[in-house]
Amino acid sequence: MTCSTVLTGQDLAVAGGAPAPSVPVPQLEWSPCVRGSAFDCATAKVPLDYNNPSGRTIELAVVKRKATDPGRRIGTLFFNPGGPGGPGTVQMPQNYERFPREVRERFDIISWDPRGIGNSTAVNCFASPEEAADWSASKAAGFPVGEKERVAFIAAYKDLARRCEQRDPELLRHVSTTDTARDLDQLRRAVGESHLTYQGISYGTILGATYANLFPDKVRAMVLDSNIDPEAWTNHASDDNPRLTTFLRMGSDRTAAATLDQFLTLCGSTTTAHCAFSAGSPEATRDKFDQLMQKLRKHPVGAWTYAGTVADVVNSLYIVHPGWTDLAGRLQALWQGRVAEPSPLPPPPAVPNPNPYLGEEQGAAVLCGDSPNPRDPNVYHGLEEAAAARAGDAGRFWTWAVEGCSTWPAVAADRYLGPWNKPTAHPVLVVGTTYDPSTPYTNAQAMAKQLANARLLTHNGYGHTALINPSSCINTYTGRYFIDGTLPPSGTTCRPDTPPFSAPKPIGGATGGGGMAGTVS
């Protein structure tokens, strides 16, 4: 494994100081994604291994929406939707309207399916969709409850690891965040930009931080929204027997519990007309939720088990509108013993393959190869109980979210482990949401502190990412920063446009897709 890399012109100096072989710039041949689409698609060829650029190549699926005011166009904004495992060719078009209007006017917006994911050269450990579905059905939804389910859950992920190792072991070693950061720099070169303008949400923040430290003199503007603490991701640059999982190091269990508590408090503070699960007061609503979880442990409602419902709750906290209102309706249905209807998926965008295969192994290949997790499957039950003691049901969910890493067969060949404070050509804007069910606000504070030159912008609101949970205040500051580099004043705090359990204006699509159960997304 190489440790740190620094920029020397267009070539990379790898650990040890020898310059890496130069890599040809990909040729992007743009054409409308489908007839009449406002989005253009292209395919980029990149080396599987940047230390051996004349070896095997892989393909990246790329999507672009041109600036809507071409006369005032500034350049290209690259966007990563998170995950790991989020397909940018699907999620950028779904969420395009979420970007500030002035950003859409003045930038081409480009996203891509990272290597290993979706429509790019993808990790796929099954011979058919049926085989993948059978594997998924062999383990408990959400997380295992009881000894029998734990044994089956661990066995399922051992089986997944075995299948993946047999299918394409070389690819598994080259889907790291560092590899993707190098791909991003190749895409920057391919569109002729001298510097990178970038927005990354969730996992996209660790990708952005990696890029900023591999290519510090190439950063024009970078917004990192809903952050992962780099030290938590890398286990403080140590592979020695990590005591905790990635998500427990980040504090995902605690922040999910705090966000769930806010959901129940706000629900109980309003009427059933606004929140169907309200029991008339915050305390009564929290009690009602605990009673529902206990009931589901003994008597599932159709396919809705206790653990599957907890997973649905945590994931449904990501998007406040309409997610929180829809979640309240599902919980009330379960309370009444009725089978709840799952949330509808956002409409597929006008791209050639809007529903690519997004098996759990894609997010796992990135996360498990990149971020250290305990390698003994038998420690996860103890970790779960400790997390549950401090974070309740959410602690159980986030503990088991990465159990698959305990038997994963590959470690990334090229990982960036720090330092995280290389001085960048321009400052970075870090956005953190106070009640985020996945990436805690403390991680945004850590990111802003660890980067050499960053400003923290606080979204005093709810849900996972400020981009997907709109705040005109956040959009004003990010738009101004992207256009002319102006940072918000130190200590700036914004609020969401619409509080939970009130009717929002409909807009855009939703995140989702990819990753292991419970990955950051």
**Cα–Cα distances in angstroms (integers) from residue 415 to residues 96, 352, 362, 366, in the given order:** 31, 32, 17, 11
pLDDT tens sequence across 111-128: 999 999 999 999 999 999
Per-residue confidence band for 20, with pLDDT thresholds at 50, 70 and 90: low
Residue 503 is predicted with a pLDDT of 64
DSSP state string for 263-322: HHHHHHTS-TTT-TT--SSHHHHHHHHHHHHHHHHHS-BTTB-HHHHHHHHHHHTS--TT
Q: Which of 9, 406, 364 is nearest to 217 (CA)?
A: 9
**Pairing label, strands 428-435, 219-225:** parallel
Q: Which residue has the tokens 């269990």?
A: 253
Asked if 406 contacts 241 with a C-beta cutoff of 8 angstroms, the reply is no
The 3-state DSSP class for residue 41 equals: strand
* For range 244-267, the mean pLDDT: 98
Asked if 181 contacts 207 with a C-beta cutoff of 8 angstroms, the reply is yes
The pLDDT > 90 percentage for the chain reads 90
Q: Which residues pair with 196 in a beta bridge?
A: 219
Per-residue confidence band for 108, with pLDDT thresholds at 50, 70 and 90: very high
* For range 414-443, the mean pLDDT: 98
The 3-state DSSP class for residue 116 equals: strand
* For range 71-93, the mean pLDDT: 98
* For range 298-323, the mean pLDDT: 97
**Pairing label, strands 57-65, 107-112:** antiparallel
* For range 438-448, the mean pLDDT: 98
CA angle at residue 518 from 259 to 290, to 5 degrees? 45
Biggest CA–CA distance in the chain, Å, is 67
Burial class of residue 6, CB neighbours in 10 A (0-12, 13-18, 19+) = middle
**Cα–Cα distances in angstroms (integers) from residue 510 to residues 223, 283, 321, in the given order:** 19, 31, 10
CA pair distance 433, 444, nearest whole angstrom: 8
Per-residue confidence band for 21, with pLDDT thresholds at 50, 70 and 90: low
Q: Is the predicted pLDDT of residue 518 greater than 50, yes or no?
A: no
Per-residue exposure over 448-481, b if at least 16 CB sit within 10 Å of its own CB, e if not: bebbebbbbbbbebbbbbbbbbbbebbbebbbbb
Q: How many CA atoms lie within 13 A of 257 on its CB side?
A: 19
CB atoms inside a 10 Å sphere around CB 4: 15
Model pTM score: 0.93
* For range 496-521, the mean pLDDT: 57
Backbone dihedral angles phi then psi of residue 27, each to the nearest 5 degrees: -95, 125
pLDDT tens sequence across 186-203: 999 999 999 999 999 999
Residue 494 is predicted with a pLDDT of 98
pLDDT tens sequence across 150-187: 999 999 999 999 999 999 999 999 999 999 999 999 99
DSSP state string for 414-475: B-------PPPSS-EEEEEEEE-SSS-HHHHHHHHHHSSSEEEEEEEEESS-TTTS--HHHH
Per-residue confidence band for 11, with pLDDT thresholds at 50, 70 and 90: very low
Which range (8-22, 101-115, 117-131, 234-248) has the least confidence? Answer: 8-22
Q: What is the 3-state secondary structure (H, E, C) of 257-271?
A: HHHHHHHHHHHHCCC
Residue 357 is predicted with a pLDDT of 96
CA pair distance 276, 369, nearest whole angstrom: 42
* Residues 6 or more apart whose Cβ sits within 8 Å of residue 86: 80, 117, 202, 203, 204, 511, 512, 513, 514, 515, 521
Q: Is the predicted pLDDT of residue 267 greater than 70, yes or no?
A: yes
Per-residue confidence band for 241, with pLDDT thresholds at 50, 70 and 90: confident
Residue 346 is predicted with a pLDDT of 85
Per-residue confidence band for 12, with pLDDT thresholds at 50, 70 and 90: very low
Asked if 76 contacts 66 with a C-beta cutoff of 8 angstroms, the reply is no
pLDDT tens sequence across 324-370: 999 999 999 999 999 998 888 888 998 999 999 999 999 999 999 99
Element (H, E) at 110: strand 107-112
Q: Which of 231, 198, 137 is nearest to 442 (CA)?
A: 231
**Pairing label, strands 75-80, 196-201:** parallel
Q: Is the predicted pLDDT of residue 519 greater than 70, yes or no?
A: no
Q: At 191, which amino acid appears? A: V
Q: Which of 156, 146, 202, 153 is nearest to 177 (CA)?
A: 202
* For range 261-285, the mean pLDDT: 98
Q: Which residues pair with 11 in a beta bridge?
A: 8
Which range (170-179, 320-329, 433-442, 497-506) has the least confidence? Answer: 497-506
**Pairing label, strands 428-435, 75-80:** unpaired
Backbone dihedral angles phi then psi of residue 229, each to the nearest 5 degrees: -65, 120
Element (H, E) at 102: helix 101-106
